[in-house]
Structure 1
Amino acid sequence: MLSYQALQELVAIDSPTGYTQKAAQYIHHLLGTYGWKPQYTNKQAVTCALGSKPRLAIAAHTDTLGAIVSRINADGTLGISLLGGPLLNSFEGEYCRIYTLADKVYTGTLLLNNPSTHVNAEAAATKRDIGSMHIRIDEPVQKKADTEQLGIQVGDIICFDTRYQELPSGYIKSRFMDNKAGCFVLFEIARRMAARKQHAPVELFFSNYEEVGHGGSGGYAATIEELLVIDMGVVGTGCEGNEQHCSICAKDSSGPYDYQFRKKLVQLAETHQIPCKIDIYPYYGSDGSAALRAGNDFRVALIGPGVAASHGMERTHKKGIEATIDLCMAYINQL
């Protein structure tokens, strides 16, 4: 039975966009324990060659959603700016950690302004946005100066609890399955190939700015010809994907993915009886989108396990993750 310990450990490491160094260090160390020699790019993404002169890059992003302190309010609470696009209705009431530049960590909660229904008759009807919400710090602060004395300032990073649970039914529910489940797929590729003493012209690429659009823009080996992006499959009304399948994206908001690349993936899924769904994502972009916008001459495909309730309280299934791993291995084996 496949162990998901590495996924749980990665999820436990806070890594919102712009604050991914600890997750990158974990990934670098883990790949090293398998016998590979990972490297950092200048932007601190992690790359790892699984053979000489790699032609195929397999990418997943380590960065997640989060927030950043935008102001200290008069009552000592914190105003926020978002990192990526968290669904605030889902994140309301979530516990969080505030990381200061002095490496102090404080805890808090994301709340509606004036959140008590006993004094605010409009609490239920108020639109949730960054102007109507704040972080309540778990410290005795009553004014701006109190918070400043803690060393909290504008630009400090806010990371939300994940509530990771791995269930007997095979479901894994947690924030940030987008895209730490995708990172786990790359971990398993590296682990399996190391165990088999297998080498292939493949580079693993763990990007760190996908949620803000430029994670996959550069940093690849000069020999790369194809980019296989592993990112969450969309689950929802009008989409074919589900949590127990690997989704193969034909088109997202940035346009269609490479037709021949996609066709080969579909054929491999059919040949090896890997549960997959071909899908269109109406509101979506990926590291592949960023790579193409940056002018990279790659053939790009996008696959990944179905993830329900994206950018909220997400859930996926081991069957979808393992189908994605199997499809990646099938593609690697035919190179």
Structure 2
Amino acid sequence: MQAVVQTIRDLVEIPSPTGFTVHALTYVENRFKEEGITYKKLEKGALLAMLPGKSSRIRLLTAHVDTLGAMVKEILPTGRLSLSQLGGYAWTAIEGENCLVHKMDGQTVSGTIVFHHSSVHTSRVTNTEERSATNIEVRLDIRSTTAEETRVAGIEVGDIVTFDPRFVHTETGFVKSRHLDDKASVALLLELVKKWKTLTLPHPVHILISNYEEVGFGGNAGFSEDVAEYIAVDMGALGEGQHSDEYTVSICAKDGSGPYDLALRHQFTRLAQQHTIPYKVDIYPYYSSDASAAVHAGHDVRHGLLGPGIESSHSYERTHETSLQATYDLLDVFVKEPMNDENTL
């Protein structure tokens, strides 16, 4: 898993919130070029890689390179910035985080995301006031005490704000970072294509690296009408009442968008059992994926969802090498299998 972990690190250290994914997509594109993988760019900026197979019916796997982030909503009279979220998260999940403001000229200004009344020595509400868009600010690392001074530095409304991922790989096998959702899955697919390109696959495998998943419309267009199976490779959701963990591959039975294809789910679980791959089947109550977005867009596909278990999603996230390995192994055996209607479950 060392190659996968290194690729995760490469990816999370490239800022790519929704709407600002060009640099991460360039990294993925260069990886496809290095491996001699046929691919094309879609109009929304996503990448679609294509591996040949014996059948005309295509199996599509997708993972998204876009992450959470923010935009400058307002330059405050104090010279600080208020934010508009890119993607959905709790304001408490970014409080205290270092960040970069990406200016129109391509340069960046560093800062820290803070609560307006951040000092306990000067305010009684520091520990009690609910965090919201009205009181979370960016404290810039420039000398500015007015909106005019901040604008002179080249910062303007609409500039992208990205969060420090703080990647850590522990000796005990944990991977800790922001944006493991879904760059862990992108890394898995980038490592797997090295192997799959040498095989004669039962079906063509197309790999869609999408870039608008966090806002609901990443992988809903741009793929062939011959796609019969659409598999989102995305994080398993951990928490109270959940079955998933950080040590297995999570197979989703249902999320907030509804149930996933039952035959596909049974195929995933059967393959995991046959190959002794640790797995958990789970339901994610507040979740949707690019696979569900494709179905909602009207595509006639069987859709599925699996991925590594990610703790503290949309915050400072964590997974383990064993979960990455289990996801890698299940995807690897899955693409070598005929489709469900050509196979006995």
Q: Structure 1 length normalisation: TM-score?
A: 0.97
Query: Among 294, 299, 304, which residue is 2:302 paired with?
Result: 299
Matched-pair identity in %: 38
1:217 corresponds in structure 2 to 220
The answer as to 2:122 corresponding to 1:119 is yes
* Cα distance in 2 for residues equivalent to 1:236 and 1:192: 34
For the 8 Å contact 2:238–2:310, the answer to whether it is kept is yes
The answer as to 2:241 corresponding to 1:241 is no
User: What amino acid maps onto 2:246 in structure 1?
Assistant: E
- The one-character-per-residue Cα deviations of 1:36-72 (angstroms, maximum 9, x if unpaired) are 1222111000110011556110000100000000010
2:6 corresponds in structure 1 to 5
What SS does structure 1 have at the residue aligned with 2:38? coil
* Cα distance in 2 for residues equivalent to 1:41 and 1:275: 35
For the 8 Å contact 1:54–1:203, the answer to whether it is kept is no
Deviation for aligned residue 1:126: 1.1
1:283 corresponds in structure 2 to 286
The answer as to 2:198 corresponding to 1:205 is no
What SS does structure 1 have at the residue aligned with 2:105? coil
* Cα distance in 2 for residues equivalent to 1:198 and 1:148: 57
- The one-character-per-residue Cα deviations of 1:201-229 (angstroms, maximum 9, x if unpaired) are 10000110000000011111231110011
- The one-character-per-residue Cα deviations of 1:80-102 (angstroms, maximum 9, x if unpaired) are 00000122212111000000111
Query: Among 89, 93, 114, which residue is 1:90 paired with?
Result: 93
What SS does structure 2 have at the residue aligned with 1:118? coil
* Cα distance in 2 for residues equivalent to 1:263 and 1:34: 32
* Cα distance in 2 for residues equivalent to 1:285 and 1:5: 27
2:172 corresponds in structure 1 to 169
User: What amino acid maps onto 1:60 in structure 2?
Assistant: A
* Cα distance in 2 for residues equivalent to 1:179 and 1:198: 28
Deviation for aligned residue 1:294: 0.5
* Cα distance in 1 for residues equivalent to 2:300 and 2:153: 49
Unaligned runs of 5+ in 1: none
For the 8 Å contact 2:100–2:162, the answer to whether it is kept is yes
Q: Which moved more, 1:49-58 or 1:212-221?
A: 49-58
User: What amino acid maps onto 1:251 in structure 2?
Assistant: K
User: What amino acid maps onto 1:7 in structure 2?
Assistant: I
2:272 corresponds in structure 1 to 269
Give runs of aligned pairs for residues 7-156 of structure 1, distance below 5 A: 7-51=8-52, 53=56, 55-156=58-159
* Cα distance in 1 for residues equivalent to 2:200 and 2:22: 29
1:232 corresponds in structure 2 to 235
For the 8 Å contact 1:248–1:262, the answer to whether it is kept is yes
User: What amino acid maps onto 2:28 in structure 1?
Assistant: I
For the 8 Å contact 1:13–1:22, the answer to whether it is kept is yes
For the 8 Å contact 1:58–1:228, the answer to whether it is kept is yes
* Cα distance in 1 for residues equivalent to 2:335 and 2:260: 19
* Cα distance in 2 for residues equivalent to 1:197 and 1:271: 21
* Cα distance in 2 for residues equivalent to 1:61 and 1:76: 34
* Cα distance in 1 for residues equivalent to 2:254 and 2:294: 15
User: What amino acid maps onto 1:46 in structure 2?
Assistant: L
* Cα distance in 2 for residues equivalent to 1:201 and 1:168: 38
What SS does structure 2 have at the residue aligned with 1:117? coil
* Cα distance in 1 for residues equivalent to 2:269 and 2:107: 49
What SS does structure 2 have at the residue aligned with 1:153? coil
1:331 corresponds in structure 2 to 334
Q: Which moved more, 1:61-70 or 1:36-45?
A: 36-45
* Cα distance in 1 for residues equivalent to 2:333 and 2:323: 15
Deviation for aligned residue 1:131: 0.9
For the 8 Å contact 1:75–1:142, the answer to whether it is kept is yes
Q: Which moved more, 1:3-12 or 1:273-282?
A: 3-12
What SS does structure 1 have at the residue aligned with 2:162? strand
* Cα distance in 1 for residues equivalent to 2:280 and 2:186: 20
What SS does structure 2 have at the residue aligned with 1:218? coil
User: What amino acid maps onto 1:168 in structure 2?
Assistant: E
Count of residue correspondences: 334
For the 8 Å contact 1:17–1:212, the answer to whether it is kept is yes
Q: Structure 2 length normalisation: TM-score?
A: 0.94
Deviation for aligned residue 1:193: 1.8
* Cα distance in 2 for residues equivalent to 1:324 and 1:144: 48
Cα gap change, 1:54 to 1:105, in 2 (>3 Å): farther
User: What amino acid maps onto 2:234 in structure 1?
Assistant: D
User: What amino acid maps onto 2:33 in structure 1?
Assistant: G
User: What amino acid maps onto 2:38 in structure 1?
Assistant: K
Where do 4+ consecutive residues of structure 1 move more than 4 Å? 197-200
What SS does structure 2 have at the residue aligned with 1:229? strand
